[in-house]
């Protein structure tokens, strides 16, 4: 319901204020929050709802097309709420475009910081519950090869993504650093999580080899 409501609200907001908007509207801002991109208003008001609709359909399809779709259904509640948070973030972006172009100059860096903070934090919640699948999570050769590596990597990544969300939220207080506070922590978290999955996989292989050698020695003795 929240997902469909967020999409409907985007469309209603655009339709209601469409006559009040200029023919060419601001749709993009630079890192300092200054407008640097324009579109015809029909296209500019349609693009965010269109992207939202595609994302909703994609996330709805994943449990059906994933060979491990049964695992996705095990964390379906967290999965659904993540999609809802994403849809609400897209609604915030649509509101930013509309409000800016009727003269209500809400800082795009604040909207970006708060919205991405919510996404990162809830991605952390999602990761902590995620079971092995082909579309959602830290999907490396090592996590996909081992349930243990998947679980350990996602427990850690969940906590780190929550921390990245908190740092991203700080961009609302420091708008001039918003892009840095949004991008840098999540990139570091993503790289660290991938590296961690490899290290955990190698540890598991060493433990397996040690157990095998120990078993062979016991059998010979």
157: CB partners within 8 A, 6+ apart: 124, 127, 137, 138, 189, 193, 196
Q: How far apart are CA 130 and CA 127, in angstroms?
A: 5
The pLDDT of residue 2 is 79
pLDDT tens per residue across span 123-176: 999 999 999 999 999 999 999 999 999 999 999 999 999 999 999 999 999 999
Rounded (to 5) percent helix, strand, coil in the chain:
80, 5, 15
Give one DSSP letter per residue of 151-205, joined into a string.
HHHHHHHHHHHHHHHHHHHGGGT-GGGHHHHHHHHHHHHHHHHHHHHHHHHHHHH
Average pLDDT over residues 204-219: 58
For 145-158, write each residue's pLDDT tens digit.
Answer: 999 999 999 999 99
Distance of alpha carbon 89 from its chain centroid, rounded?
Answer: 10
Q: Where are the domains of the chain?
A: 1-104, 107-221
Q: Are 150 and 144 in contact (CB under 8 A)?
A: yes
Residue appearing with tokens 């601001």? 26
- Pairing mode, if any, of strands 35-40 and 24-29? antiparallel
The predicted model scores a pTM of 0.89
Whole-angstrom distance, CA of residue 212 vs CA of residue 128: 31
pLDDT at 212: 45
Mean pLDDT to the nearest integer, 20-32: 93
Residue 60 and residue 103: Cα distance in Å, rounded? Answer: 36
């Amino acid at each position: 319901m929240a997902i469909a409501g967020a999409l409907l609200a985007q469309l209603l907001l655009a339709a209601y204020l469409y006559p009040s908007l200029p023919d060419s509207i601001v749709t993009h801002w630079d890192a300092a929050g200054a407008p640097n991109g324009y579109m015809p208003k029909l296209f500019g008001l349609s693009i965010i709802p269109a992207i939202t609709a595609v994302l909703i359909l994609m996330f709805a399809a994943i449990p059906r097309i994933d060979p491990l779709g049964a695992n996705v259904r095990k964390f379906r509640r967290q999965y659904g709420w993540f999609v809802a948070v994403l849809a609400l973030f897209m609604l915030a972006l649509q509101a930013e475009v509309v409000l800016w172009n009727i003269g209500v100059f809400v800082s795009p860096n604040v909207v970006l910081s708060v919205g991405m903070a919510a996404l990162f934090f809830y991605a952390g919640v999602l990761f902590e519950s995620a079971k092995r699948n082909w579309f959602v999570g830290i999907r490396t050769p090592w996590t996909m090869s081992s349930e243990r590596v998947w679980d350990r990597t996602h427990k850690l990544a969940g906590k780190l993504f929550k921390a990245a969300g908190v740092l991203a939220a700080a961009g609302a207080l420091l708008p001039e650093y918003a892009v840095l506070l949004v991008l840098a922590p999540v990139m570091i978290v993503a790289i660290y999580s991938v590296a961690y999955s490899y290290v955990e996989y190698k540890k598991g292989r060493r433990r397996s080899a040690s157990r095998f050698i120990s078993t062979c020695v016991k059998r010979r003795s």
